[in-house]
């Protein structure tokens, strides 16, 4: 009986010893099935694998490299801890319930120099022949490059170096990833705003006539162009004014309104670019100048009914300004020329200063010159006091044409003696 009991105890001891030494079933080291392996053999496998060179293929080029070349070490002790049996209950669960797999992940330590060494061994590609062109058919900029800047995918490389697939060596294929540079991002931002310019048709509504003109997306694309000279920090959105005038005329718009309407289209499309707003352009019969750029290469037009001045340059409407013209003494209608320019004029009749003075006519009935100037003012106790406040946009002057501060200087700088001025009722 004693011999039998000793035999039984020895058998149980050897059985449990074997169970502690052998790896339980359904156990994997990463992706390698190590079920029933002796644990010393697992340790030898880990040591051998960490010392062997691996083949890494990047962008079609294969290199044989050791883990140590990349400043990577395998912590064998920590990895083996994943096979440690905690107690008898843990032992029985692993051996008697093998349906649920146990995966042991090798514990790799990536040194501080890992990224630098990878960059040296796999330098990637540099940016070649980067360029941008405006595509008139699509209304956006095309970003083009012969070769994109790229680098090795470090996360992908790390994941694949940490994965043991089988006991046979296989090439590790690692992807190169493209790096988006600053210019490409700015082009993308500009294109998102440009797409709003041509995203919807544009309605032109002439309210007094009940007339509606619609420019569809294709027609808008045919009118606009864009350019930049500062790497997309700002975009110059341009419109082909001659083409716009012809298009509007073909759609039945009066020639007298075509120039002004073209200017309004340009301002609306620029507003779309800046804010995404897609409001209709509403015009009245009196909106806009009476001429279309044919008087001279550069000239001024004033419309008394609108209290507005128009500056033409190169046959096109360049800008418009609100003005104030004569009330009790109406500003005379007709064709005139700028007679002189003075940075500061003075009216003996009203005893006021008139900055940026430009005379255009002498009226014998009042014995005074009429001119274009800034809002007149006088000094009271050393303070600049405008005669009637800011009345620009309303008839208020004694026959002259007054502009707001700032705009008067702008017109003054554009004007010259002998320049044409046409005034309409």
Query: Using one digit for the tens of pLDDT, what is the confidence trace for 76-93?
Result: 999 898 888 777 777 777
Model confidence band, residue 410 (pLDDT cutoffs 50, 70, 90)? very high
pLDDT digits (tens, 9 = 90+) for 246-268: 888 888 887 667 777 887 888 88
Model confidence band, residue 400 (pLDDT cutoffs 50, 70, 90)? very high
Structure tokens of 174?
A: 């690692």
pLDDT digits (tens, 9 = 90+) for 36-45: 899 999 999 9
Please provide the DSSP assignment of 74-95 as one string.
E-HHHHHGGG---SHHHHHHHH
Rg (CA), the chain: 42
At which residue do the structure tokens 């040591």 appear?
A: 47
pLDDT at residue 420 greater than cutoff 80? yes
pLDDT digits (tens, 9 = 90+) for 372-391: 998 888 777 666 776 666 77
Model confidence band, residue 3 (pLDDT cutoffs 50, 70, 90)? low
Task: Provide mean pLDDT across the span 205-214.
Answer: 75
Q: 98-127 in b/e burial notation, b at 16+ Cβ within 10 A?
A: eeeebebebbbebeeebeeebeeebebeee
Task: Tell me how crowded residue 400 is: count the other CB atoms within 10 A of its CB.
Answer: 27
Model confidence band, residue 10 (pLDDT cutoffs 50, 70, 90)? very low
Return contacts of 215-218, CB within 8 angstroms, 24+ apart.
215/247, 215/265
pLDDT digits (tens, 9 = 90+) for 267-324: 888 888 888 777 777 666 556 787 878 899 999 999 998 899 999 998 888 888 999 9
pLDDT at 338: 95
Task: Provide mean pLDDT across the span 23-35.
Answer: 88
Quote the mean pLDDT of the chain: 83
Model confidence band, residue 100 (pLDDT cutoffs 50, 70, 90)? confident
Model confidence band, residue 208 (pLDDT cutoffs 50, 70, 90)? low
Percent of the chain residues past pLDDT 90, beyond the cut: 25
Measured distance CA(164)–CA(172) in Å, rounded = 11
Cβ–Cβ under 8 Å, residues 46 and 80:
yes
pLDDT at 256: 65
**Cβ-Cβ contacts under 8 Å for 293 (sequence gap 6 or more):** 259, 312, 314, 315, 316, 317
The residue with greater pLDDT, 231 or 13, is 231
**Cβ-Cβ contacts under 8 Å for 250 (sequence gap 6 or more):** none
pLDDT at residue 416 greater than cutoff 90? yes
Model confidence band, residue 213 (pLDDT cutoffs 50, 70, 90)? confident
pLDDT digits (tens, 9 = 90+) for 144-201: 888 888 888 888 888 888 887 654 567 888 888 887 778 888 888 889 889 988 888 9
Cβ–Cβ under 8 Å, residues 241 and 316:
yes
Please provide the DSSP assignment of 141-153 as one string.
EEEE-SB--EEE-
Please provide the DSSP assignment of 352-421 as one string.
EEEEEEEEEEEETTTTEEEEEEEPPEEEETTEEEESSS--TTS--BSSSEEE-TTHHHHHHHH--TT-EE
- Given CA atoms 134, 135, 140, 146 in this order, what sign does their dihedral have? negative
Measured distance CA(100)–CA(255) in Å, rounded = 84
Q: Which of 92-101, 341-350, 402-411 has the lowest mean pLDDT?
A: 92-101
Confidence (pTM): 0.51
Model confidence band, residue 2 (pLDDT cutoffs 50, 70, 90)? low
């Amino acid at each position: 009986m004693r011999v039998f009991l000793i035999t039984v105890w020895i058998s149980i001891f050897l059985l449990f010893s074997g169970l502690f030494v052998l790896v339980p079933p359904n156990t994997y080291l990463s992706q390698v099935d190590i079920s029933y392996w002796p644990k010393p053999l697992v340790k030898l496998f880990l040591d051998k694998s960490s010392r062997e060179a691996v083949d890494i293929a990047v962008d079609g080029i294969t290199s044989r490299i050791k883990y140590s070349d990349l400043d990577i070490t395998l912590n064998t002790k920590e990895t083996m801890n994943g096979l440690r049996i905690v107690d008898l209950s843990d032992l029985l669960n692993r051996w008697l319930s093998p349906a649920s797999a146990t995966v042991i992940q090798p514990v790799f330590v990536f040194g501080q120099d890992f990224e630098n060494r990878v960059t040296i061994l796999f330098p990637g590609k540099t940016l070649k022949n980067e360029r941008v062109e405006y595509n008139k058919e699509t209304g956006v900029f095309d970003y083009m490059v012969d070769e994109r800047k790229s680098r090795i995918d470090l996360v992908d490389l790390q994941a694949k170096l940490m994965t043991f697939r089988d006991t046979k060596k296989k090439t590790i294929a690692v992807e190169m990833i493209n790096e988006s540079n600053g210019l490409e991002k700015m082009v993308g931002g500009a294109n998102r705003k440009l797409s709003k310019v041509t995203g919807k048709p544009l309605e032109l509504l002439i309210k007094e006539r009940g007339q509606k003109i619609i420019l569809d997306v294709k027609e808008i694309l045919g009118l606009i162009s864009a350019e930049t000279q500062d790497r997309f920090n700002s975009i110059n959105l341009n419109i082909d004014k001659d083409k716009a005038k012809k298009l509007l005329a073909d759609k039945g718009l009066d020639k007298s309104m075509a120039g002004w309407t073209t200017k309004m289209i340009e301002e609306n499309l620029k507003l779309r670019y800046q804010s995404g707003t897609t409001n209709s352009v509403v015009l009245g019969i009196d909106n806009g100048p009476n001429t279309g750029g044919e008087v001279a290469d550069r000239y001024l037009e004033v419309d008394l009914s609108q209290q507005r001045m128009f500056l033409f340059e190169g046959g096109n409407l360049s800008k418009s300004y609100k003005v104030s013209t004569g009330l009790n003494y109406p500003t005379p209608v007709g064709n005139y020329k700028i007679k002189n320019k003075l940075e500061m004029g003075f009216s003996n009749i009203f005893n006021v200063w008139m900055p940026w003075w430009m005379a255009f006519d002498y009226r014998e009935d009042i014995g005074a010159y009429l001119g274009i100037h800034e809002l007149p003012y006088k000094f009271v106790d050393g303070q600049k006091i405008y005669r009637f406040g800011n009345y620009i946009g309303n008839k208020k002057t004694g026959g002259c044409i007054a502009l707001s501060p700032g705009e008067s200087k702008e017109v003054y700088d554009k004007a010259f003696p002998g320049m044409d001025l046409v005034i309409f009722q």
